[in-house]
Structure 1
Amino acid sequence: MTRGTGQGTTTEVATSDESWDAVHGNDAIQFGPVKKTPIPEQVPPEPREPGWLERFFEWLGDLLSPIGKLFGASWPVVQWIMIGLAIAMLLYLLYRLLEPVLEFRIKKDAEVEEEWVPEREEALALLDDADRLAQEGRYDEATHLLLKRSVGQISAARPEWVEPSSTARELAALPALPEAARNTFSVIAERVERSLFALRPLVLEDWEAARAAYAEFALQKLTGRHMQEQAA
């Protein structure tokens, strides 16, 4: 029994070896040799050129290094303090250089806001149209035309000042308007409101007061400015 079993085992081992050799020898089911893909060589990046700020700090460090030797171990703290002072001084010098330009622009903008007046041609055309209505005895229409055109002039020159719902009384109290313009609007608006809401027709004196207020504000300043431009 033992002998027979040994022969069977030997036969099975031989059969397994033959099967393994047969599989291993079949080229159709074998994998080819693995080809190794060469890894490209990593090229180190070129050193970056230091910027102007880095060069400034480097120069400042070299400049202050002799002083650092005097402070010893506390030099790193003192170095940053001195660098901060140097930057603050640089910003102060830059501000002093730009200060005249900034003040000039602010002053110029403020003068433009305070000295706003309608264009000369528009003011003259408005008075001509209103005068024609007044000559026909239509004082209400002439005064209302002064107010309506004046609001249009302001809206065209300074759109941010006038809203669609703005009333003549609100414009007369507008802080952005020069004082002369506010007075003019008050005189004209008072008479227009009287004409529309009190149902009282305007007379010649009302028209003359409204016209004089507009002319004093618009034409006198325009004439003065025109004469200054000619003298220049």
Structure 2
Amino acid sequence: MAVKGHGMEVKDHGMEVKGHGMEVKGHDMEVKGHGLEEKGHGLEEKGHGMAVKGHGMAVKGHGMEVKGHGMEVKGHGMEVKGHDMEVKGHGLEAKGHGMAVNGHDMEVKGHGMEVKGNGMAVKGHDMEVKGHGMEVNGHGMEVKGHDMEVKGHDMVVKGHGMAIQCHGMEVKGHGMEIKGHGMKVKGHDMEVKGHDMKVKGHGMKVKGHDMELKGQWYGGKRSWYGGTMSWYGGKRSRYGGIVFLNW
């Protein structure tokens, strides 16, 4: 993904965010104003809610916009085109199928956004996800199912999700944990302390404001993009294969 200014923009398999919100089209979620609307497999609320079309979400105004399978954020966000991630200014840059600035690595400078699995973590006016539905509390989203929960300025994900306390993120199981302004991941995950990020096992490590990927990101039995257990392919993967894992 690529970030311009403080924003995120993703096309194709990306996410687009304009202003402070997010919008997703296709398998996505759309939110207009502060209301929640969902069509197809979703729910619809207007006012202080979000709109979801198909399986996705889109938010305009204080939100995020996603087209195709991606996200795009303008302003304080990041921009991703294809399977690539590029962040300029306060962001990160990844080319190819990876979060890679250098080789297969990810470099993050300044403050960024973390997207994990099929979900996304938002700080500030928070998001909670349970089931396959979405619920918005206050200025935040709540989704039930696979799954993200955000309360106050914090985000909590249960199961294979992430949790954020204060302005930090905590993930248990296959997730990440962030306390203060840093994040920590246990298992196959990443750990961030202070303003730095470290990933152990099959994850990434970031020192200072930069992120580096090590281990089985792009191959092996348990990897992101290949192998028997992977994100994008293999017998057990997120996006294809015999067993579809809802990580």
What range is the shorter-chain TM-score in?
A: under 0.3
- What's the TM-score once normalised by structure 1's chain length? 0.26
Q: Greater helix percent: which structure?
A: 1
Bigger relative contact order (CA 8 A; separation at least 6): 1
Q: Greater strand percent: which structure?
A: 2
- What's the TM-score once normalised by structure 2's chain length? 0.25
